[in-house]
Structure 1
């Protein structure tokens, strides 16, 4: 297992993170414990969670598992989505953030969260309000660093500018969606992260299971995340995603590697990525992703795999600098 530094924080994490969204939902407590122990055995020290995963049960299970090894692991949690029926139990207001972090700390039986991530963009709350709340939590020692997920690059950079001007703690970690079939992050998010020296942990490196070899143009299992959960089936509904999955599965077979291993390793090979976030419902699903920790994707293989799906258009329509043609 290789260890990488998260941006400029000095915190070293494994080159794979484990996402605990299945804890307490598709994985019971015993299965969750078995997967956690297997990850620790493999060298993973970064565990990603959120207050809304399994209605808070994910954090509770993770807390019970890290209780005897808190100094050895790095944990994240997130705030934004509704955590109750009350009208203010959502968003990125100071009120919800302050109440949210206290609840997460209690559930995880810890006195600090390494990276506290805002889970989405709140159009009703000023960014300044959110950043001041996060900065206060850092001053109180309840979080070490702030992170951001599912924001556009311009929103993140606006926040970084506000933080710099106001001498507030900035976002040090980004958690974007990124896989061979979801590559929008390549356009601005990943270049921005490198320029700003921010860590990146990418979620859904398997494309919701699309890149595991179980799916394709003519392959549709009767159950699975892409079948059972509407948000995933909608997210990957385009036919070209299934066509890319077929090409990718064939490529993996040609190179005698499990598709899940190769999909995670391809994400890991991007120089902007600190760690892909792997997830599983059981130990069997977990194993192929764990192999990716030591699987090397060289530049040639990386480019070959990239060619199997559509490369997103550049951030601007001016491509002269890229092509060397001036008009």
Structure 2
């Protein structure tokens, strides 16, 4: 396992981050703890969760896992989505964030969170309100650094400007979606992160299972997130994505490597990515993703894989304008 610095923070993290969305849900407590142990054996020190994963159970199980070695772990969690039926139980208001962080700290059995993510954009709450609350939480020692997930590049840039002007703690880590069929982050988010020296931990490197070898134009399993969960069918149910999956599966077979391993390795090879977030429901799935740490992907190989999908247009939408060499 290699270790990389998160932006300008000086914090060293493994180049794979383990996401615990399955803890307490698709993975029971015993399996969850076994996967945590395997991640630590592999050298992973970076773990991602959220207050809404499995209704808070993910945080509770992860808190039990890290209790004996908290200082050796870099921990993230998130705030935004509904955690109660209360009218104020959602969003990025000071009220919800202050209540949310206290609840997460209790479930995680810790007195601080390394990177605290705003989980989505809140159109109802002024950015200044949210950023001031994050700054206060940092000053109180409850979080070390603010972080942001699922915001557009212009929203992140606006927040960075406010933080600089008002001398508030700025976002130091971005969490966007990024995989071979979802490459929009290459257009503005990854260049922004590189320019502003921000860390990036991207999620969904396997495309919700699309890039694991289970899917193709004429290959659809009866069960799985892509056929059972509307969030993922809406996100990935485009015929071109299945064409890319077929091409990718064939390429992986030619190379004699698991498609899941190769999909994670491709994301890891982007120089703007600090660590892709891997997830699993069991130890077998986990091993395929962990194997990506041992893949020696050259720039030429990365380019070959990138050519299997569509490179997004540059931000100016002028085809003659070259994107940065992310591929």
TM class, shorter-length: over 0.9
Residue equivalent to 2:265? 265
8 Å CA contact 2:49, 2:78 repeated in 1: yes
Q: Shift of the alpha carbon at 1:287? A: 0.4
**1:317 aligns to what?**
317
Structure 1 residue ranges (4+ consecutive) displaced by more than 6 angstroms after TM superposition: none
Instruction: Give, in angstroms, the shift of residue 320 of structure 1.
Output: 4.8
Question: Offset at 1:317?
Answer: 3.0
Structure 1 residue 319 displacement after superposition: 4.8
SS in 2 for 1:210: coil
1:19 aligns with 2:28: no
The answer for the alignment partner of 2:300 in structure 1 is: 300
**TM-score normalized by the length of structure 1:** 0.98
The residue that corresponds to 1:36 in the other structure is 36
Shift of 1:226: 1.2
Q: Is the 8 A contact 1:4 1:12 kept in 2?
A: yes
Deviations 1:100-144 (A, max 9, x none): 000000000000000000000000000000000000000000000
Q: Give the gaps of 5 or more residues in structure 2.
A: none
What residue is the counterpart of 2:188 in the other structure?
A: 188
**1:230 is matched with which residue?**
230
- 1:117 corresponding residue in structure 2: 117
Instruction: Indicate if the aligned counterparts of 1:269 and 1:296 stay in contact, CA closer than 8 A.
Output: no
Partner deviation per Cα, 1:279-325 (whole Å, 9 max, x = no partner): 000001110100001212111110000000111111003455549xx
Show the counterpart of 2:247.
247
Q: Which moved more, 1:202-211 or 1:290-299?
A: 290-299
> How far apart in 2 are the matches of 1:105 and 1:317?
44
Q: Secondary structure at the match of 1:67?
A: helix
Secondary structure class of the residue paired with 1:148:
strand
> What is residue 104 of structure 2 aligned with on the other side?
104
Which residue does the alignment assign to 1:148?
148
Supply the distance in 2 between the matched residues of 1:234 and 1:254 (Cα, whole angstroms): 31
Structure 1 unaligned runs (5+)? none
Is the contact between residue 179 and residue 263 of structure 2 (CA under 8 Å) also seen in structure 1? yes
**Residue range with higher mean Cα deviation, 141-150 or 227-236:** 227-236
1:200-239 maps to which residues of 2 (within 5 A)? 200-239=200-239
For 2:5 and 2:187, the matched residues in 1 are separated by 23
Q: State the SS of the aligned residue for 1:62.
A: helix
Q: CA deviation at 1:227?
A: 1.8
Q: Is the 8 A contact 2:314 2:321 kept in 1?
A: no
Q: Confirm or deny: 8 A CA contact 1:258 1:288 kept in the other structure.
A: yes
Distance 1:66 1:174 in 2: 23
- SS across alignment from 2:185: helix
Aligned residues: 323
Q: Quick check: 1:55 aligned with 2:55?
A: yes
> What CA distance in whole angstroms lies between the structure 1 residues aligned with 2:318 and 2:283?
48
